[in-house]
Amino acid sequence: MKVDYSSKLFEQAKNYIPGGVNSPVRAFRAVGGTPIFVKRGLGSRILDVDGNEFIDFVCSWGPHIFGHLPKFVKNTIIEQLENGTSFGAPTIQEVRLAQLICELVPSIEMVRLVNSGTEATMSAIRLARAYTSREKIIKFAGCYHGHFDAFLVSAGSGALTFGVPNSPGVTVGVAKDTYIARYNDIDSVYRIVKENPNQIAAIIIEPVAGNMGVVPPKEGFLQKLKDMCTDEGILLVFDEVITGFRLAPGGAQELYGVVPDITTLGKIIGGGLPVGAFGGRKEIMELLAPTGPVYQAGTLSGNPIAVSAGLAVLKFIKENPSIYKSLEFKASLLEEGIKVNLSRFGKRFTLNRIGSMLTLFFTENEVTDLESALKSDTVLYASYFHKMLDRGIYLPCSQFEAMFISYAHTEDEIKFFVKTQFEVFKELFQ
Ligand code: KE4
* pLDDT per residue as tens digits for the range 238-250: 999 999 999 999 9
81 shares a domain with 203: yes
Domain end call among 285, 319, 353: 319
pLDDT per position as a tens digit, 412-424: 999 999 999 999 9
Position 64 in a domain: no
Other C-beta atoms closer than 10 Å to the C-beta of 427 total 10
Per-residue pLDDT of the chain (430 residues; tens, 9 = 90+): 888 999 999 999 999 999 999 999 999 999 999 999 999 999 999 999 999 999 999 999 999 999 999 999 999 999 999 999 999 999 999 999 999 999 999 999 999 999 999 999 999 999 999 999 999 999 999 999 999 999 999 987 766 677 888 999 999 999 999 999 999 999 999 999 999 999 999 999 999 999 999 999 999 999 999 999 999 999 999 999 999 999 999 999 999 999 999 999 999 999 999 999 999 999 999 999 999 999 999 999 999 999 999 999 999 999 999 999 999 999 999 999 999 999 999 999 999 999 999 999 999 999 999 999 999 999 999 999 999 999 999 999 999 999 999 999 999 999 999 999 999 999 999 9
103 shares a domain with 52: no
Identify which of 17, 60, 61 to mutate to test ligand 1's pocket (most ligand atoms within 8 A of the CB).
61
Position 47 in a domain: yes
331 shares a domain with 302: no
Residues assigned a catalytic role: 144, 239, 267
36 shares a domain with 97: no
393 shares a domain with 335: yes
Is the C-beta atom of 23 inside 6 A of ligand 1? Answer: yes
239 shares a domain with 169: yes
Provide the number of structural domains found in the chain.
Answer: 2
At how many degrees (to 10) do helices 323-344 and 411-429 cross?
A: 20
Position 62 in a domain: no
Position 66 in a domain: no
pLDDT per position as a tens digit, 203-237: 999 999 999 999 999 999 999 999 999 999 999 99
Whether the upstream peptide bond of residue 274 has omega within 30° of 0, thus cis, is: no
Domain that holds residue 222: 71-319
Ligand 1: atom nearest CA of 274 is 4
Starting at the earlier edge strand, list the strands of the sheet with 403-404: 350-354, 357-361, 403-404
Task: Take atom 8 of ligand 1 and give the residue whose Cα is closest.
Answer: 145
420 shares a domain with 315: no
Identify which of 38, 114, 211 to mutate to test ligand 1's pocket (most ligand atoms within 8 A of the CB).
211
How far does CA 155 lie from the centroid of its chain?
22
93 shares a domain with 223: yes
CATH of the domain at 231: 3.40.640.10
Position 13 in a domain: yes
Domain end call among 270, 286, 319: 319
Is the C-beta atom of 430 inside 6 A of ligand 1? Answer: no
131 shares a domain with 28: no
CA 397, CA 33: separation in Å to the nearest integer? 10
Position 65 in a domain: no
326 shares a domain with 310: no
CA of 148 to the centre of ligand 1 (A): 11
Instruction: Label the pairing between strands 350-354 and 357-361.
Output: antiparallel
CA of 146 to the centre of ligand 1 (A): 5
CATH of the domain at 349: 3.90.1150.10
419 shares a domain with 285: no
Is the C-beta atom of 146 inside 6 A of ligand 1? Answer: yes
Ligand 1: atom nearest CA of 24 is 24
Domain end call among 267, 290, 319: 319
Position 63 in a domain: no
Task: Take atom 15 of ligand 1 and give the residue whose Cα is closest.
Answer: 146
407 Cβ contact list (under 8 Å, min separation 6) = 65, 66, 67, 323, 326, 327
374 shares a domain with 291: no
pLDDT per position as a tens digit, 323-376: 999 999 999 999 999 999 999 999 999 999 999 999 999 999 999 999 999 999
Identify which of 122, 123, 143, 242 to mutate to test ligand 1's pocket (most ligand atoms within 8 A of the CB).
242
